[in-house]
Amino acid sequence: MTNQTRKHKNPKDVSVGNYIFLIIVCIISVFPLFWMFVASTNKSVDVVSGTLIPGTYIAENYKKLIAGTNLWTAMWNSFKYSVTLTFFCLVVCSLAGYGFEVYHDKAKDRLFSVILLAMMVPLAATMIPLYQMCSEMGLLNTTAGFILPTISTPFMIMLFRQNSRSFPHDIIEASRIDGLGELQIFLRMYIPTQKSTFAAAMTIAFMNAWNSYLWPKVIMLKNDSITMPMLIAGLKSGYVTDYGVLMLAVLFCTLPTVLIFFVLQKQFAQGITGAVK
């Protein structure tokens, strides 16, 4: 009987195939951003025709955008609302996640299960009672009205609780022996060890707040309270849409979230990975 020889794939061939696959995926992922930039530099007619060559019409598109909308007011409002919501979301959800894990008991587990069930309830289902509450409390067209419905989310609490499981409880006991209070332990011991979790949570909270459209559309009734997603929706609501101006507005709206993600991408990956472990 003859011995049959097995054919093994060359590791170099496998690595080249992986690189080719990754390059194709990168091109597909980056292409929408490239097309958005190209469209913002061309006339509406060129955008509709599908040109992929950058034009020289970006200055005219910017003038039209400034003349027809409150661009910088919308940018400032989105930045103000997003930063405020992100800050309070981190404070509330980190304290909640820390408390659920450090002061653990069966009653808190049942409460946490109820909180997780709330993830299945969409915002649209609670929007009418939320609007009535904000209206009666005088929170229409205010930052408080914007942030209160989403200042604490089940996902954020779960993220902090899962990552809190890796926080050594021996540090808590040693800190208590040294005379530190519970809040001091949280501020001086817990937060420095959970920087990646806070970075991941900050990225998610800021992007969700910045891209929020439905609730601001309901709660913000004045033109001075407009946000960037509302401004972009307004550019599409006319009889004729100038796609060059529209893509320039989308470019302005996209840049802050892209910048934050690229700055914090390493910490974001570490925070999300830690939540899965």
Residue 253's pLDDT is what? 92
Residue 170's pLDDT is what? 83
Q: Where are the alpha helices (DSSP H) in the chain?
A: 11-40, 44-49, 58-68, 71-102, 106-117, 123-136, 143-147, 154-164, 169-177, 182-185, 191-193, 195-211, 214-219, 228-236, 243-263, 265-276
In angstroms, how far apart are the furthest CA atoms of the chain? 90
Low-confidence ranges of the chain (pLDDT < 50): 1-6, 275-277
Residue 113's pLDDT is what? 87
Residue 13's pLDDT is what? 56
**Interatomic CA distance for residues 245 and 273, integer angstroms:** 39
Tens-digit pLDDT profile for residues 166-179: 888 888 888 888 88
Residue 276's pLDDT is what? 42
Tens-digit pLDDT profile for residues 226-268: 999 999 988 887 677 889 999 999 999 999 988 888 888 787 7
Residue 73's pLDDT is what? 92
pTM, rounded to two decimals: 0.84
Residue 8's pLDDT is what? 53
